[in-house]
Structure 1
Amino acid sequence: MSGTRSLCCHVTTATSSFAILYLIGNLLELGDIIRKASWEKTHSISYHDIKSARCDHIFDISTNILMLVLMSISCVFVLFSQRKGPMFVLPFVMLMFVDLGVSFLSLFNGAWGLPGTPKYKDVLQVTKYYKGVDRLDEEDLGHFTMGYTVFFIFNVLLKVYVLQVSMRCFYALMEERAPGMHVDTGHTVTVKLPSYDEALTVKNEEAPPSYEEP
């Protein structure tokens, strides 16, 4: 991980900016989950709900809230990394590894994916709601699938870039914190050493004159 600049700013500044964006998104997603849970608690009819289904639903909401809280804490740690050290960036780096991994798993099962990750089913429902239809025809469904594929690939590439920048930020802070650590600046110095025969012919320098007080 070489280099300390990303696009037009330092990697620490870029990582802090990404952490702020993730923090805002997490708080908005957390508020939306709490709003939906409160609305369901007020308007749902518990007599028609299956007990096991309600337990699974409560478990999903609890894990999503817990995951959003942990993600928000890791983003807050990044904001103090320049003063506290590179270890405060490590939770955010691990989060990006997990986010990238479950993003690929969400292709096979929509249940995978961290909270806030756009899923095909959810985006399709939003599209049908704004179009005012219950079902898309084949042409519209093909256009939607193609658009979602492009969006998903762009989202994954963006996460890969954030992961790379956060790792470079971690190593950059490590180099700043470690005194005397060798940092490659790209400049090399070549020194020609004498051969063995030349070293034998070198005479010892005369001893310096003794110091006498005036």
Structure 2
Amino acid sequence: MSGTRTLCCHVNTATLTFAILYLIGNVLKLAGIFLMPSWEKSEYSFSYHESKAFKGQRVFDISTNILMLVLMSISAVLALFSQRKGSIFVLPFTLMMMVELTLSFLSLFNGAWGLPGTPTYRDLLQAVKEQKRVPVLNEEDIGQLTMWYSVFFMMDILLKVYILQVSMRSFYALKERRVPAIHVDTGNTVTVKLPSYDEALKMKTEDTPPNYQEP
């Protein structure tokens, strides 16, 4: 990873900025999960066993979403200490960005793999139908919704790729900056001036140790 600047600032400053925004976003998502009703009323009637299965699925989904958001928040907090503690504190943030990119691509095939707090295409479709108060959207509305969702999805992917690249460059920049500091602090460097070839030839032979003789 060459270069330590990105756009108009240092890669370390950009990583800290993204980590702060990332942390704020995750905290807001967590607040949204805790503030929403625990069990939403379904529009359809379920039997007792179906309702119990639905409730169990809801508990599992909410638990995994909360765990994922907590891990994301911890990685962002660790990145804030990278300037003092070293490059290893940026690594969790970089790994979480890789996980986010993977889940974003998987959400194209199945909405259950989507990121917590991020609406899927099905969620947006249902929201638009509720707003328009229609059971089915016409082709024009579906086309517009699909176009806008595709644009925002690609922008989100590109932004995450950029954050991943910046965080990786910050990791290597902090690592390179810490290496010379370790050599200076240890003080193990010893400078020895070796004699030239002519000086070595002029050395006295009596400087050599005497031969060992048995008594």
Structure 2 gaps of 5+ residues are 183-196, 202-215
Correspondence list, 1:37-116, <5 A:
37-38=37-38, 40=39, 50-116=51-117
Counterpart AA for 1:51: K
Counterpart AA for 2:11: V
Counterpart check, 1:31 vs 2:24: no
Q: Deviations over 1:63-97 (max 9, x none)?
A: 11111111111101111110011111110000001
Root-mean-square deviation over aligned CA pairs: 2.5
Hey, what does 2:118 align to over in structure 1?
Answer: 117
Structure 1 gaps of 5+ residues are 182-202, 208-214
Counting matched residue pairs gives 183
Hey, what does 1:194 align to over in structure 2?
Answer: none
Q: Deviations over 1:101-140 (max 9, x none)?
A: 1111100000012213331112223333444444321011
Counterpart AA for 1:33: I
Aligned-residue offset at 1:147: 1.3
Q: Distance in 1 between matches of 2:112 and 2:156?
A: 18
Correspondence list, 1:1-214, <5 A:
1-38=1-38, 40=39, 50-179=51-180, 204=198
Aligned-residue offset at 1:47: 7.9
Q: Deviations over 1:142-162 (max 9, x none)?
A: 111011111111111111000
TM-score normalised per structure 1: 0.77
Q: Distance in 1 between matches of 2:127 and 2:84?
A: 43
Counterpart AA for 1:125: Q
Counterpart AA for 1:24: I
Identity %: 62
Counterpart AA for 2:79: V
Q: Distance in 2 between matches of 1:142 and 1:102?
A: 25
